[in-house]
Amino acid sequence: MSRHPLTRLCAIEDVPDGGALQVVLPERPPLAVFRLEGRCFVTDDTCTHGNASLCDGDVEGGLVICPFHAGSFDIRTGEAVDRPCVKKLQTYEAIEDGGALYTVFPEG
């Protein structure tokens, strides 16, 4: 089985603990990197309910609350928790190495 290459997202120190950093890579939708209790999680940044950047939302109790209509998602799993969000948020592997954060994008 072939292993996809790692893509560098950011320096871990650039992600505020208990907050989020938007990461924009060429030819991909923007990503949100969250840091909860020192550990990083990566999701799509755009809310599944509308065109809001989740990095502009509040992070509370492991959830990110959308700044547009206050729906929320579980940062660790991407599950939609509060309406009007019902569609899961895409999550990505978060690989920490040497002070930087990487991910592996699925095929395609």
Residues that bind ligand FES (CB under 6 A): 47, 49-50, 52, 66, 68-69, 71, 84-85
Closest distance to ligand FES from the beta carbon of 40 (Å): 22
Closer CB to ligand FES, 68 or 105, in the complex: 68
Closer CB to ligand FES, 2 or 51, in the complex: 51
Closer CB to ligand FES, 30 or 84, in the complex: 84
**Alpha-carbon span 96 to 6, nearest angstrom:** 11
**Alpha-carbon span 2 to 87, nearest angstrom:** 30
Closer CB to ligand FES, 53 or 77, in the complex: 53
Closest distance to ligand FES from the beta carbon of 81 (Å): 11
Query: How many CA atoms within 13 Å lie on the side-chain side of 101?
Result: 23
Closest distance to ligand FES from the beta carbon of 57 (Å): 8
Residues with Cβ within 8 Å of residue 64, at least 6 apart in sequence: 20, 32, 34, 43, 54, 57, 58, 72, 73, 75
